[in-house]
Amino acid sequence: MITSIYFLFVFLPLALCIYHLAAANYKEYILVVLSFVFYGLGCPDYVLLFAGATFATVCIGRMMHRTTDKRMRCLLLIVGIASNLGLLLYYKYKDPVVAAFSNSAQKDTAAIQIVLPLGISFFTFKAVSYLADIYTQKAILSERIVSDMVYLSFFAQIQSGPLARYNDMRQGERCSFDGTLFANGVFRFLIGFSKKILLANMLFHITREVFALPIDKLPMNLAWLGAICFSLQLYFDFAGYSDMAIGLTEMFGYHCRENFNYPYMTESVTKFWRRWHISLSEWFRDYVYIPLGGSRTKRNVQVYFNLLIVWLLTGIWHGASMQFVVWGLGYFAAICLERLTGLPSRITSKSGKFVYRILTLFYINFLWVLFNSPNLTYGLQFIGRMIAGGGHQALHLRAGILLSEYGIFIAAAILFCFPVVPKCEKIMKRDRIAGAIFDIIEALVVLLAFVLSLSFVVAGQNNPFAYANF
Amino acid sequence: MEQKSLVKRIIAYAVVILLIANFIMHASFSEIDSMLQYVGAKGMRQEEADEADALDASYLEQFRLKQRLIDVNGYLTKLLGKREVMGMYITDDARILTAYDETSTDYEYEQTVDFYAFLKANDIRFLYVNEPIKYLDDAAFMESFGAETYSNQNADLLLMRLRDADVPVLDLREELLADGKDIGEMFYRTDHHWNVPAGLWASKQMAEGLNTYCGYDIDVSIYEPSNYEVTTYEDCWLGEQGRKVGRTRVGLEDYQMLAPKFATDFSFKSGTQVAYQGTFDAFLRPEVCNAENDIYESESWHYAYSRINCINNQADSGKVLFLCDSYDQVTEPFLALGVHEMDSVILRDCGDEFPLRDYILEQGYDTVLVAYTQFMIGAHDDATSSNYRMFTFE
């Protein structure tokens, strides 16, 4: 939605004008109203539910904050979390569960097609962290209740995160306009927009085509191309969205935590999740793994059990179907293996470490195949094709044509998986003039990329965020 | 926090100022009302989810930078040598092609055979005409673009089955090859329709088909190109496909308008009643052919010919119901030159309740001519297709 022309040319300028022209006392109220309008544009049927859930969560949080009775605080925490998780379970998991347990002939497909409330998974996790942080007194609450409403409903983060924490939305700065923060935000937004449109959307053409092929037709080379392109597409789609969300957050005077740090540079599967969807990993760490005992339990088995719970939940959070469960368990298995064997730390040679990195990327790539498959069987058969080959011979040709058609986008995507721009910046900024030239070139490239991205959106080559359904 | 350089800050502010300026100058604030109305809407279900983009689509319609940005996009795709744009395939000579899915042809076969039996039982003659798409060889398409397409294979299968069932069939692809025609010259590069000279040629083939299969005696010499006045417009319009990929990607299109040099005399009908008298010129809409028109927003020049139910006062025999599609904007007027009375119907424009067979009997047609572009075959596989009903002859 935030890549739509309507958002860019109507909602955003309107929101910026109203917000920044308003008196400081009204800014947060305006932001809440804007967020509800934004939610209503994306999901009109659930805007009242969203407003109600936000208000109820804030009420419970504030009541918990005021009371000193431990049992009451605990009760409020349970009620708050249970009601939010209840909404998530009802909307996200009711239909898949009903479908799984009912006779296929009796499946009510109309019920299955109910639209999910926009960003319900992200909202629920933010609500849980808000309530838990109040309970543990980590959250430094603002004097104004409306600040809590802003945190839970802020339109920039509601669709796909990042899963900011209450304290991230630093107080006080909203009252005065911070030009540097604003300019950084705009620039970050432009970069994210270009990542999404110029890279993720282009690669989506390949992945959509490849993953729509019947398995019996899928040749090996096309399967590999589709799998690699999906890894790249998902990264630039989600990282692009995160950049835009962070940029928007900064445009409205708030700070936001980072969500990606060149994940495909990872040394191991374990470290991958310290670079990919960082806010989700940290959420599971802080609100599931550590409360379960984390790594500091006396029994080693308990640690693995805790990890199992975390990765099962991570899988199920992404979707109530077997391929997501297996996807989560795939990470659990790899992380356990690395923990048990001490890999890759035990590898001393550079070449060995490099090989391990490549193997890690292959493994992650296979798991992304499951992630993007309509069901577990298709995903496993797809991986089988990647390894064993087969498929429609005539379609071998297609991989070459797709490569020549989208080669420049694939190359750019691979290049920007690595921190080439920060490296160049670091080198050039050793010299003042070279640094200035770098700034000019970077700014112009970002501007050009934004215009080209706009052209793709206007030409109708836009598509929803891959993470919009979670 | 890292402080952005002055240049970056200037650019950041410039972008925001431009967004706000566009918002004010183009009165985008008028959208606020529709935005709030939309937010108040209820009952969003999956089948209506597409409407979630309705605001964006309607704003885009009037978005002033739209055409410039499409042109920018066209430059970029040309620069990158992209041959696949928005599901369309662009050849080196800037012709835009489309791939089509495989189909069993069962529905089309069963409906046509049953319809033919009904007509035969009522002593009404029938001819099925297969109109080609922009390429004749699916394998060559696959070789060129690496994408599967089945349109010609679907047509081959359906026509073979119809011929086996003794249904009269005219395959214009065969006529085209027999005449040594170049398919590339018969279609607009930037539009899926065939051009006017191709329409005239096809009309001649259909007239010959009526003579061969339906016992007509049309003088097909009236379809010789030398009998027509040609008005040529160069680099003047952009077809429906070209508008999506941009003029900068495929360039503008030429247009030829043909009108008979010989005298014509028609009675034109509104519905089934004669409404006015006129000549062939009544079929023409020269106002569409205005090179000054906005190439992106104006009506497609293909529709510079109208389909009008008519009586040709210079022809003695034949009352034909022409079941057709938009390709026949440029065949019906020419074909009507050889037949006494001709009405046309596009089934996708008729509701489910349209009683086709009753209508045929009520109007007393002696011939039903079905002429469909071959991508109609298989449209019934997709219930959301606008062409879903084209083969429902009930």
- Helix axis angle for A24-42 and A145-153, nearest 10°, is 30
Q: Which amino acid would we find at residue B376?
A: M
Q: How confident is the model at residue B45 (pLDDT cuts 50, 70, 90)?
A: very low
Q: How is residue A145 written in tokens?
A: 């209740």
Give the pLDDT confidence of A39-89 residue by residue, as tens digits.
988 888 899 999 999 999 999 999 999 999 999 999 999 999 999 999 999
Q: Does A106 score more than 70 pLDDT?
A: no
Tell me if A240 sits within 8 A of A199, measured CB to CB: yes
Please state the rounded mean pLDDT for residues A190-209.
95
Say whether residue B265 is in contact with chain A using an 8 A CB cutoff: no
Residue ranges covered by each domain of chain B: 2-96, 101-381
Give the pLDDT confidence of A363-374 residue by residue, as tens digits.
999 999 999 999
Query: Across the interface, which of A113, A114, A184 has its CB nearest the CB of B1?
Result: A184
Say whether residue B117 is in contact with chain A using an 8 A CB cutoff: no
Measured between CA atoms, how close is B105 to chain A, in angstroms?
21
Please state the rounded mean pLDDT for residues B144-168.
95
Q: How is residue A58 written in tokens?
A: 């804030």
Cβ contacts of B22 on chain A, cutoff 8 Å: 9, 13
Residue ranges covered by each domain of chain A: 5-176, 186-267+344-458
d(CA B257, CA B235): 14
Say whether residue B82 is in contact with chain A using an 8 A CB cutoff: yes
Q: Does A356 score more than 90 pLDDT?
A: yes
- Rounded to 5, what percent of chain B is helix, strand, coil? 45, 20, 35
Tell me if B122 sits within 8 A of B174, measured CB to CB: no
Q: From B241, which residue of chain A is nearest by alpha-carbon distance?
A: A459
The share of chain A scoring above pLDDT 90, in percent, equals 72
Say whether residue B140 is in contact with chain A using an 8 A CB cutoff: no
Say whether residue B245 is in contact with chain A using an 8 A CB cutoff: yes
Count CB atoms within 10 A of the CB of residue A51: 17
Q: Does B143 score more than 80 pLDDT?
A: yes
Of A225, A197, A199, which Cα lies nearest the Cα of A210? A225
Residue whose tokens read 């928007």: A248
d(CA A217, CA A393): 8
Q: How confident is the model at residue A469 (pLDDT cuts 50, 70, 90)?
A: low
pLDDT of residue B315: 93
Cβ contacts of B42 on chain A, cutoff 8 Å: 44-45
Q: How is residue A46 written in tokens?
A: 């659930």
Of A109-113, B76-80, B246-250, the one with minimum mean pLDDT is A109-113
d(CA A355, CA A38): 47
Touching A: B residues 20-49, CB under 8 Å: 20, 22-23, 28-29, 31-32, 35-36, 38-47, 49
Cβ contacts of B28 on chain A, cutoff 8 Å: 9-10, 13-14
Q: Over chain B, what is the mean pLDDT? A: 91
Of B107, B101, B215, which Cα lies nearest the Cα of B161? B107
Give the pLDDT confidence of A20-36 residue by residue, as tens digits.
999 999 999 999 999 99
C-alpha gyration radius of chain A: 23
Q: Which amino acid would we find at residue A135?
A: Y
ipTM: 0.82
Query: Across the interface, which of B2, B22, B73 has its CB nearest the CB of A456?
Result: B73
Q: Does A387 score more than 70 pLDDT?
A: yes
Measured between CA atoms, how close is A44 to chain B, in angstroms?
5
Q: What is the DSSP letter of A266?
A: -
Determine whether A318 is an active site residue: yes
- Rounded to 5, what percent of chain A is helix, strand, coil? 75, 0, 25
